[in-house]
Amino acid sequence: MLRSVSSYGGNRLGHFLSVYPDKAGTKLDSCNLCHSGGSYVDGKGKTVTLGSCQWCHYSYGYDSSGDIDSTLNSYGMAYKEGGRNVDAVNAIATLDSDGDGYTNAVEIAANRFPGDLNDDPTKVTAPLRVLTREQLLKMPQRSQFMLMNTHKSEDFYTKYSGVAMDRLLSKLILPEATGIMAYAPDGWAQFHTLYPDPDPLFYHVFGKYPKAMFYYDEQADTAKNITSGWCNYNTPKAIGKINGQKIKSAAGLKMLLAIKRDGEYLTPGVLNVSNKLDGEGPFRIVPPQKIPGPPDQKSTSDSQDVIWPFDANADHNAGYSSRSATIIKVEPLPEGTTDIDTLEAGWPYVDASKIVVYGNIDPISNILEKVMDLQNTINAMSPSDFTQPPAQQLLLRTVAKVERNVRSRRYEDALWKLQTEIVTKINGCVSSSETPDETDWIESCDTQKQLYWKVNEIMVLLRIVA
């Protein structure tokens, strides 16, 4: 389950779930329900776009000193104006907060965001793949010794191993993909570009990172200075290395989906008593430094008269490294699709050592799964459900032809068959009234609609590749 780290969001989600308890664990059980992302222009004149969690922290602040209204979407604003309580959730159910033609209640029932104009019941869940740790371990593994430089916490050197992100995504993403958003189960999210970007805030998926060197000084070593040190060198790979020595990496440094640290599986993430994330596994998305440098003192330390004092402009790559990553969203979402329902894709995925990749990726495996589901649904129907006896077998034969077209990559042919030979036989109740029309093959409007929306999902996914 996605859990908000914000006391503001956490309390309000409690009100929402009191009214809609069945939405616990779905994508609606997250900060995105009421909050939107945003953007700002940095000191270099570049527009920086942030997800809802990062935007709230940037605009509203960890100390709640900012303007909360600037972080709210239309549903969140309606909730705030209604009183920010259970009564407000009930009162705004009949509104169409985002103006997409569907009431908030209808969108919530369909697991769509009521404050997002681009997310409505007609949209189809974007293509997705679920990967287990066992599957990832069968891919070529890569190890990297590197510095993890933090702002406020202890810096450390370590050896991560796992799958290079470019290898993981190269066979999945479509040409239109522009970047990824990595999500942790506590609702934290981080954006990465696909290709190198000069902005130091954007760590890239494809392409190597610059070579680094090893920095050591006893003053920084936490083993030598327990109270005043700030860098942990307690990793076997650091033994024998000296200050200024180049870190050898024959294959170059890359962004990793890390599975192990110093040879051991990453410790699974948990929420501590302060509602903060402890641990970093089972997977962590680890970018090396774009601008290699030494481990600098903590920003919170009063002792800055040291060899490497805190440098606000230093490359603090650890802060852009997603701990306990369970979701990788490839942006932008294809036309006609929406975000996945994150039911069982948050904390249960931590427990099961799984990660899901979704969005602008190859949809074929999902299409075939949905075609099989359509076949099973038609097979399970009774002959009495049809207006004429041959209709059931005719539908099944047409679906079988669609499957063959998909497997042979004749996507346009598959789409045409669905549109002309199936949709026209099951759309009377959808396109006109609650009564089947003369060309329909299905007697029951409820059954018609069930089949229609299953077919519609397949057609939306087919249009991505057709």
Q: CA triplet 119, 124, 128: central angle to 5 degrees? A: 110
User: What pLDDT, on a 0 to 100 scale, did the predictor assign at position 2?
Assistant: 30
- Asked if residue 148 is part of any domain, the answer here is yes
User: What pLDDT, on a 0 to 100 scale, did the predictor assign at position 3?
Assistant: 32
- Of 98, 122, 146, which residue is a domain's last? 122
Locus of tokens 């740790």: 133
| pLDDT by 10s per residue, the chain, length 466 | 233 333 344 456 789 999 998 888 777 887 788 888 777 776 666 666 566 666 776 777 656 677 778 889 999 999 999 999 999 999 999 999 999 998 998 888 777 899 998 888 888 999 999 999 999 999 999 999 999 999 999 999 999 999 999 999 999 999 999 999 998 887 678 999 999 998 888 999 999 999 999 999 999 999 999 889 999 999 999 999 999 999 988 778 999 999 999 999 999 999 887 767 899 999 999 999 999 999 999 999 999 999 999 999 999 999 999 999 999 999 999 999 988 866 556 788 999 999 999 999 999 999 999 999 999 999 999 888 998 889 999 999 999 999 999 999 999 999 999 999 999 999 888 766 667 778 889 988 878 888 888 898 999 999 999 9
Is this model's pTM higher than 0.85 or not?
no
Do 149 and 196 reside in the same domain of the chain?
yes
Q: Give the structural domain span for 192.
A: 131-359
- Asked if residue 165 is part of any domain, the answer here is yes
Taking the CB of residue 240, how many other CB atoms lie within 10 A of it?
7
Is residue 65 classed exposed, middle or buried when 0-12, 13-18 and 19+ CB atoms within 10 A define those classes? exposed
Q: CA triplet 193, 161, 251: central angle to 5 degrees? A: 70
Do 326 and 405 reside in the same domain of the chain?
no
User: What pLDDT, on a 0 to 100 scale, did the predictor assign at position 437?
Assistant: 78
- Asked if residue 394 is part of any domain, the answer here is yes
Do 253 and 386 reside in the same domain of the chain?
no
Instruction: Name the domain count of the chain.
Output: 3
- Asked if residue 2 is part of any domain, the answer here is no
Distance CA 295, CA 307 (A): 10
Do 189 and 265 reside in the same domain of the chain?
yes
Instruction: List beta partners, residue 232.
Output: 156
User: What pLDDT, on a 0 to 100 scale, did the predictor assign at position 8?
Assistant: 42
Which are the contacts of 215, defined by CB distance < 8 A and separation ≥ 6?
147, 243, 244, 293, 294, 295, 308
User: What pLDDT, on a 0 to 100 scale, did the predictor assign at position 47?
Assistant: 66
- Asked if residue 223 is part of any domain, the answer here is yes
User: What pLDDT, on a 0 to 100 scale, did the predictor assign at position 70?
Assistant: 81
- Asked if residue 305 is part of any domain, the answer here is yes
Taking the CB of residue 177, how many other CB atoms lie within 10 A of it?
18
Do 279 and 195 reside in the same domain of the chain?
yes
What does the CA dihedral 289, 290, 294, 297 come to, rounded to 10 degrees? -80
- Asked if residue 220 is part of any domain, the answer here is yes
HSE-CB of 42 using CA atoms within 13 angstroms = 12
Distance CA 389, CA 269 (A): 56
Do 59 and 180 reside in the same domain of the chain?
no
- Of 302, 324, 359, which residue is a domain's last? 359
- Of 95, 122, 149, which residue is a domain's last? 122
Distance CA 412, CA 397 (A): 18
User: What pLDDT, on a 0 to 100 scale, did the predictor assign at position 37?
Assistant: 74
Do 264 and 219 reside in the same domain of the chain?
yes
Decide if 439 contacts 411 (C-beta within 8 A): no
Distance of CA 149 to the CA centre of its chain: 24
Do 203 and 326 reside in the same domain of the chain?
yes
Do 375 and 349 reside in the same domain of the chain?
no
Do 254 and 327 reside in the same domain of the chain?
yes
Do 254 and 181 reside in the same domain of the chain?
yes
- Asked if residue 240 is part of any domain, the answer here is yes
Q: Which of 452, 466, 462, 465 minimizes the C-alpha distance to 122?
A: 452
H helix runs in 203-267, sequence order: none
Do 80 and 145 reside in the same domain of the chain?
no
